[in-house]
Structure formats: C-alpha cells, structure tokens
Amino acid sequence: MKVRVYVSLKNGVLDPQGRAIHHAIEGLGIHGVKDVRAGKMLELEVDDTVTDAALDEMAKKLLANMVIENYRIERIAA
Amino acid sequence: MSGFRSAVVTFPGSNCDRDMADALEKISGTAPYRVWHGDADLPERLDFIALPGGFSYGDYLRSGAMAARSPIMQAVVAAAGRGVPVLGVCNGFQVLTESGLLPGALMRNAGIRFVCREVALTVENSQSLFTGGYSKGQRILIPVAHHDGNYFADDATLERLEGEGRVAFRYAEPVNGSSRDIAGILNEAGNVLGMMPHPERMIEAAHGGTDGRALFESAIKGLVDA
C-alpha cells in the first residue's frame, strides 16, 4: 500500500522559499496568485502491518519538525 | 590543562570537525577524541562534547534532522542530561534543536541566500560556562557560513529564553532573519550551547581575529577549575 505524508509549514511561520517562488511566478507574467507556501510530500510503500499509530509516530519523530511544521497522512488504496 | 577529555562527533557530511578538533587541542593542550555518528557510545568521563558544522547527511529532510536520530546522538543526549557540556556550532546547533536538546528550529535564511562572512555579535549572557570569558554587551566578530540559520521559536518560548538569560549571543547586524536576532542559545541547565557563528574559526591571529578563543578558554577553565 502507498502512503503519502504531506509536510507543510505551520500558519504564521515565515516561508522564504514560498515567497521566492511567488516572486518567480509573477516573473512568468502570470498574475492573480496571492500567496505561495512550499512544503514536501513523502511517498512511502508500506505493508499492511504498518498501523496508523506507527505512521503518526514516524511523522512526529522524524518526517515533520513539529516546532514549525504540520503533517497530513493519506493512505492510497492499491 | 592536560587531561581535558573532549570529543568531536563527525557525521557523514560534517566539514568543520577538523577545525573544531584543532581549536580544542590548541586551547586545551589535549587532542579530543574523534567519534563517528554510528558509534553507540562516547568515551567515558568526558569534560566536553562538540557537534561541528557542516552538512550532515546532505541536509536531507531538514538540516540536522537525520543526524539527530543517529546512534551517537542518544549517547550525547544522555551525557547532556548528566550535565556534560555540549557545544553545537552551525550544523551542530541544527542537530541540537532537532534532537530536542534546545528549543526552536533553524529555518531557511529569510533572504534565501547562503550567508558566508564575518558578522558582529553582541554577548548577551556572560555568566554561562561558555561565555564567562566575555563581558555582557561586548561586541565580537565571528564568521557565519550557513543557509539555514534563521532561528524560529514561538513567542512563549522566546519570552522564556529571554527571561531566563538563555540568549547567549545576538547578531548586531541583519544576517538571516532570526527571531530577535538570536545567534546562540543555552539550555535550561546552561550546559548546552548552540550557535550558528563559528568560534573555532577565530582562535588565532592567522584567522584574522581571536574573538572565538574566549569561548573555549572559559569553558575549559571553568571545567578544569571546577
């Protein structure tokens, strides 16, 4: 089974990368984008023994830094 | 000064470990132990542990994130808990926040760019083990070289750090967007210091200055006299 873990910056945490990307989008001549926040998505291939609790634990302890980031876990049916 | 037992931890991608070892040897008179990230144990009866700068694990995931979960860090966390002084510089500071030994996080520089130059710092706390050789308010010049040095913590944490005198150094000029210009912080017990600037690169005249020397001297003197 595939699991996707989305890691994003918490609200209120300054995102210099998102701001630079936003600036670059405007450089393309495309207007109307109000804000950009950069994050990351990790794709895991797991077997059925990997519980939601285990996914939560790995997200909290390693994949996301809970001081500045949030995460969301999505299981993708094969 | 002989008999000073220090250790420098090398992670894959550390690149200031040799400079750190050199500074510790020149100032204490005794060569530090060199410890590898995969080691499970530190040498016994250490007086000082240094986590050097660099790009451990290629900065994969987040700077310092992988190193903070390496086998040796469990031993470092345990030693810090017993009161052994731990100094983390640059990537070493990132490892300390990622491992939970220090609060907050180090994010991408606000100006996006890698910053590599000498910067002026203000000594905020001159009472700690590491900063006793400076005077409060003293301006010192120490080089920085980092991409992720933008210190972030929530307001409550920042207030606590300030209130408890745990801000050791502050930037005296704009560098990376750090909250309250924080350049280095101490843990609650005062035996763990993390800082982005590199004191080990300012210990002899050939470096262009010696402002980093007092940090090592005060730590070593404090420990030997104790």
pLDDT digits (tens, 9 = 90+) for B65-116: 999 999 999 999 999 999 999 999 999 999 999 999 999 999 999 998 999 9
Residue to test with chain A: of B63, B107, B113, most A Cβ within 10 A: B107
- Domain extents in chain B: 6-225
Residue B3: pLDDT band with limits 50, 70, 90: confident
**Distance of residue B173 Cα from the nearest chain A Cα, in angstroms:** 19
Distance of residue B93 Cα from the nearest chain A Cα, in angstroms: 15
B16 is catalytic: no
- pLDDT, greater one: A78 or B48: B48
Stretch B200-211: mean pLDDT: 96
B160 touches chain A (CB under 8 A): no
Minimal Cα distance from A65: which residue of B?
B98
Mean pLDDT of all residues in chain B? Answer: 96
CB atoms B107 and A20 under 8 Å: no
Where do the domains of chain A lie? 2-76
Q: Is B207 a catalytic residue?
A: no
Mean pLDDT rounded to a whole number for chain A: 95
**What is the C-alpha separation between B214 and B190, in angstroms, rounded?**
17
Average pLDDT over residues A18-23: 93
pLDDT digits (tens, 9 = 90+) for B125-148: 999 999 999 999 999 999 999 999
Q: What are φ and ψ of residue B120, in 5° steps? A: -85, 135
Percent of chain A with pLDDT over 90: 91
pLDDT score at B29: 95
Rounded to whole angstroms, the Cα distance separating B226 from B222 reads: 6
Collapse the DSSP code of A7 into the 3-class scheme (helix H, G, I; strand E, B; otherwise coil) and give the result.
strand
Report the gap between the CA of B24 and the closest CA in chain A (Å): 32
d(CA B93, CA B51): 8
CB contact under 8 A, B107 and A13: yes
Helix axes B17-28, B213-225, angle to 10 degrees: 50
B147 part of contact set with chain A, CB < 8 Å: no
What local confidence, expressed as pLDDT, does residue B1 receive?
A: 43
pLDDT at B206 over 50: yes
Span A4-15, pLDDT tens digits: 999 999 998 989
pLDDT > 90? residue B224: no
Is B116 near chain A, with CB under 8 Å?
no
- Provide ipTM, 2 decimals: 0.87
Using CA atoms in the order B108, B123, B186, B39, what is the torsion angle rounded to 10 degrees? 70
- Is there a contact between A46 and A54 (Cβ–Cβ < 8 Å)? no
- Contact at CB, A62 and B69, closer than 8 angstroms: yes
What does the alpha-carbon distance between residue B32 and residue B123 come to, in Å, rounded to a whole number? Answer: 27
How much is the average pLDDT of B143-170? 97
Is the Cβ pair A68, B105 closer than 8 Å?
A: yes
Q: Any chain A CB within 8 A of the CB of B161?
A: no
Of B107, B112, B177, the CB nearest to A68: B107
> Which CATH code fits B6-225?
3.40.50.880
Q: What does DSSP assign to residue B137?
A: T
Residue of B16, B37, B90, B98 marked active site: B90
Residue type at position A45: E
Condensed to tens digits (0 to 9), the pLDDT of residues A29-76 reads 999 999 999 999 999 999 999 999 999 999 999 999 999 999 999 999
Distances, alpha carbon B177 to alpha carbons A16, A37, B169, B209, in Å: 10, 18, 15, 25
In the chain, the amino acid numbered B165 is G
Interchain contact, B150 vs A68, CB within 8 Å? no
Catalytic site includes residue B198: yes
Range A2-76 has CATH code 3.40.50.1100: no
B201 vs B222: which has the higher pLDDT: B201
| 3-class DSSP assignment, residue B8 | strand
Q: Are B121 and B205 in contact (CB under 8 A)?
A: no
pLDDT exceeds 80 at position B225: no
Task: Say which of B16, B98, B146, B200 is annotated catalytic.
Answer: B200
Task: Check pLDDT > 70 for residue B226.
Answer: no
Nearest beta carbon to residue B104 from set A16, A17, A67: A67
